[in-house]
Amino acid sequence: MTVPEPKFILSKKVIMQQYGLVEDIADIVSYSSKTNPKVTSVLEEMTNCLFSVHMENELKHIDDLSRTVFLAQGWSSAQAKDLYDRGIRNFILDNEHDLDVLLTTLKDTNHRVNLMLRLKLRENSIRTERYFVFGMPSATINRHIGELVDSPNIGKLGIHFHRKTQNVSEWKLQRDIEDVITPETLDAIDILNIGGGLPSVYANSNADVIGGIFKRITDFRKWLHERDISLMVEPGRYIAAPAGKLVTRVMAVYEDNVIVNASVYNSDMDAILVPVKLRVENEVSSHEGEAYVIKGCTPCSMDLFRYRVYLENRPQIGDPITFINAGAYNFRSDFCDLEEIITEITD
């Protein structure tokens, strides 16, 4: 039996709904383009938000590069000059080497950029020894801000920090900043960028925390305004995830295993890396259905969409299995030469 190819469905309406919620609690929104670059073009057309970009290859998704916030990493003076010449004026730097490169490039020119320095904040995840923690120590940040505040090459000056994706716990922002940033530094900066980390809803995540997180961000913004500082937020997952669905088809059913015609390796790498597990449309409680494993189509034992999902009826070959909240970090690998799954944009 031939079944339709899998596809992503991306809703403009949901993108705008999610963007509106973030816009209400921030002075500046910069969408993190790496989350799903197909969302970038929608937001560029329909909003005035900025776009946080880490790699030059990502710039092809943006028409107006003056709306780019470029997060440099191990760059060269030639690259810094090229990005400036292409119209990029907003930069975030996370180490002193890259800062030296920028300042050397700007020296003896009349070029002027907006600059944020990335602060290394304590976070619980560093104890796992799995993650690299970006940023400079607070003493280094305080020193450099004092040196940069009167530079003719620097326009807006700010501090950036970011904890982890799908962050559900570390949101005591005012306390964390007051502990490490001096009053003199706060007087000198124009922007405080809290990065992203706003969580979305998954089968293995707590969906009840977002109201409390928004309350903490709102309180933090009020505190910043009292110091004439603007709040920037870089949401990615929070905007992109609920806007996307992944529609697959059942290829086989045996015992309690359902095999679908897609793989986490070409549609849901998040399931391995974070890991978060996508919810299934119309899944039911354990009291209402039978438990199934939903596996991708490759020979890898980690190619699992869900270890256990309860469905009211036993799936049949050709039936659709639709994963919701599937719009974020749905990048693919070339494992088993899997094809890229097409995205259909609706609304």
Q: Residue 317, SS3?
A: coil
pLDDT computed for residue 1 by the predictor? 67
Q: CA end-to-end span of the chain, whole Å? A: 31
Report the C-alpha gap between 270 and 275 in whole angstroms.
Answer: 6
Phi and psi, residue 52, nearest 5°: -85, 125
Residue of 48, 86, 82, 83 lying closest to 67 (CA atoms): 48
Q: How far is CA 37 from the centre of its chain?
A: 11
Helix H, strand E, coil C: the string for 253-289 is EECCEEEECCCHHHCCCHHHHCCCCCEECCCCCCCCC
Structure tokens at 143: 């020193």
Domain segments of the chain: what residues?
64-235, 242-345
pLDDT computed for residue 164 by the predictor? 76
Cα torsion angle, 250, 252, 256, 260, sign: negative
Q: Residue 231, SS3?
A: strand
Antiparallel, parallel or unpaired: β 279-280 and 244-254: unpaired
DSSP of 285-308, one letter per residue? -TTTSEEEEEE-SSS-TT-EEEEE
What are the beta bridge partners of residue 141? none
Residue for token pair 């209400």 = 24
pLDDT computed for residue 206 by the predictor? 72
pLDDT computed for residue 265 by the predictor? 98
Report the C-alpha gap between 119 and 216 in whole angstroms.
Answer: 19
Mean pLDDT of each 10-residue bin along the chain, 347 residues long: 89 98 97 97 97 97 98 96 97 97 95 96 64 89 96 97 80 90 96 92 83 94 97 97 98 97 97 93 96 98 96 97 97 96 96
Burial 145-181 (b: 16+ CB within 10 A, else e): beebeeeebbeebbbbbbbbbbbbeebebeebbeebb
Q: Residue 161, SS3?
A: coil
pLDDT computed for residue 168 by the predictor? 73
CA distances 80 to 85, 87, 246, Å, are: 9, 11, 38
pTM equals 0.93
Domain 64-235 has CATH 3.40.50.2300: no
Cβ neighbours, 10 Å, residue 204: 13
Which class would CATH give 242-345?
A: mainly beta
pLDDT computed for residue 123 by the predictor? 55
What single letter denotes the amino acid at residue 23?
A: E
CA-angle at 66, arms to 61 and 71, nearest 5°: 70
Residues 276, 207: contact at Cβ < 8 Å? no
Q: Quote the radius of gyration of the chain (alpha carbons, Å).
A: 22
CA-angle at 12, arms to 7 and 92, nearest 5°: 100
